């Protein structure tokens, strides 16, 4: 997100626009936490995780009163454009706000490690999260292999298996459990038993936190009751997936999206989201991004998980 903020601020300034940063998202709009940003305000941040502007959940922005306060705070500074980075909740707020106050143009940027937004092949943070996951799994694999163990590794993705699926391919996991696709304990046990029968001395199963059969601890317990071939361990990667220095891919994506968002506002466009599609930056209506929420898992990767794990 910092690479994106940097790009947006500098693109605006390059074009002679006064730029402001709003701290803590919509809450900051209501609290009047709006600060002028110059080219130097965004120096030395491109390599930082998190967001220098901070973020917050804000229920008040869902109310007419909350939106009105935000509007007045923007107008008092002659601000006529708003760039928001986030997912569904963020875009719903932006859409509702700009419908009510259409003299404020809004542009969305897809930012979530879950990669579950329509209109962008990749969302900001997703690639970095996968890199973090595979770095962790590579290390866990050393123990799995040396001690002949079965590891269940839980990754983020309450409703989306994107992190799990890509991590499974990149780390060479034996199995992956996704929220979008139910895998029964029987199926999993059959797969692990097949590996054991073909002399796999250790195995790694990636569990997306949203899998319907439970979290990694539950699944490990259920598997152990039916298949006790390996010593079994569980690791929950948790919030470490949401931080850390961004990958080069995310820095470039953030820069492209921040740059594009300002240019779209300059053209007078509003209620759109800028995204990456087929390595080109394209826009989609925020309404469409919201209505087509479900992101499809990459079919070829799904197919490969079965084939490459034999």
State yes or no: residue 112 binds ligand F6P (CB under 6 A).
yes
Q: How far is the CB of 179 from ligand F6P (least distance, A)?
A: 10
Sign of CA dihedral 191, 195, 197, 201: negative
Q: Residue 242 gets which letter from DSSP?
A: G
Instruction: DSSP for 24-45, please give it.
Output: THHHHHHHT-EEEE-GGGGTT-
Asked if residue 209 lies in contact with residue 215, where contact means CB atoms within 8 angstroms, the answer is yes
Size of the site for ligand F6P (CB under 6 A): 7
CA-to-CA dists, residue 40 to 18, 37, 84, angstroms: 14, 8, 21
Q: How far apart are CA 286 and CA 85, in angstroms?
A: 12
What does the block give as tokens for 299?
A: 């079919």
Fill in the per-residue mask, 250 to 279: x = in contact with ligand F6P (CB under 6 A), - = not in contact. ------------------------------
Number of Cβ within a 10 Å radius of residue 154 = 23
Residue number, 110 or 195, with CB nearest to ligand F6P: 110
Q: How far is the CB of 260 from ligand F6P (least distance, A)?
A: 22
State yes or no: residue 113 binds ligand F6P (CB under 6 A).
yes
Residue nearest to ligand F6P (CB): 158
Residue number, 42 or 206, with CB nearest to ligand F6P: 206
Q: How far is the CB of 85 from ligand F6P (least distance, A)?
A: 12
**Residue 283 phi, psi dihedral angles, 5° rounding:** -110, 155
Q: How far is the CB of 245 from ligand F6P (least distance, A)?
A: 18
- Residue 231 annotated in active site: no
Q: How far is the CB of 208 from ligand F6P (least distance, A)?
A: 9
Q: How far apart are CA 6 and CA 39, in angstroms?
A: 8
Question: Catalytic: which of 80, 103, 114, 138?
Answer: 114
Q: How far apart are CA 7 and CA 24, in angstroms?
A: 19
**Residue 218 phi, psi dihedral angles, 5° rounding:** -60, -45
Instruction: DSSP for 159-197, please give it.
Output: S--HHHHHHHHHHT-SEEEBTTB---HHHHHHHHHHHHH
Sign of CA dihedral 180, 183, 185, 191: negative
What does the block give as tokens for 256?
A: 């492209």
User: Looking at 89-97, 107-115, 212-220, 224-232, which segment touches ligand F6P (CB under 6 A)?
Assistant: 107-115
State yes or no: residue 114 binds ligand F6P (CB under 6 A).
yes
Fill in the per-residue mask, 151 to 180: x = in contact with ligand F6P (CB under 6 A), - = not in contact. -----xxx----------------------
Residue number, 158 or 293, with CB nearest to ligand F6P: 158
Fill in the per-residue mask, 174 to 213: x = in contact with ligand F6P (CB under 6 A), - = not in contact. -----------------------------------x----
Could you tell me the maximum CA-CA distance found in the chain, to the nearest angstrom? 71
Residue number, 32 or 218, with CB nearest to ligand F6P: 218
Kindly list the residues in this chain that would bind ligand F6P in the complex (CB under 6 A): 112-114, 156-158, 209
Q: Which are the catalytic amino acids? A: 114
């Amino acid at each position: 997100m910092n690479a994106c903020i940097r790009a947006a601020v500098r693109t605006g300034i390059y074009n002679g626009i006064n730029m402001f940063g709003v701290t803590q998202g919509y809450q900051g709009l209501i609290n009047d936490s709006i600060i002028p940003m110059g080219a130097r305000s965004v120096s030395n941040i491109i390599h930082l995780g998190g967001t220098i502007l901070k973020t917050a959940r804000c229920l008040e922005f869902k109310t007419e009163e909350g939106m009105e306060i935000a509007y007045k705070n923007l107008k008092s500074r002659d601000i006529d454009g708003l760039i928001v980075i986030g997912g569904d909740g963020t875009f719903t707020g932006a859409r509702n706000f700009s419908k009510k106050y259409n003299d404020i143009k809004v542009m969305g940027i897809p930012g979530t490690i879950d990669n579950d937004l329509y209109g962008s092949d990749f969302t900001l943070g997703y690639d970095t999260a996968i890199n973090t996951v595979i770095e962790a799994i590579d290390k866990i694999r050393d123990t799995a292999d040396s001690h002949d163990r079965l590891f269940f590794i839980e990754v983020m993705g309450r409703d989306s298996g994107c992190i799990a699926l890509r991590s499974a391919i990149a780390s060479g996991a034996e199995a992956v459990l996704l929220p979008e696709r139910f895998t029964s304990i029987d199926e999993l046990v059959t797969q692990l038993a097949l590996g054991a029968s073909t002399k796999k001395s250790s195995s790694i199963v990636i569990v997306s936190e949203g899998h319907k059969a439970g979290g990694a601890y539950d699944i490990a317990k259920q598997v152990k009751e039916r298949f006790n071939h390996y010593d079994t361990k569980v690791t929950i990667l948790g919030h470490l997936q949401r931080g850390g220095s961004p990958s080069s891919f995310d820095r470039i994506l953030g820069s492209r999206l921040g740059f594009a968002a300002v240019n779209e506002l300059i053209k007078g466009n509003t209620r759109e989201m800028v995204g990456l599609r087929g390595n080109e930056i394209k826009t989609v209506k925020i309404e469409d991004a919201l209505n087509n929420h479900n992101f499809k898992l990459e079919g070829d990767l799904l197919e490969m998980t079965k084939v490459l794990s034999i």
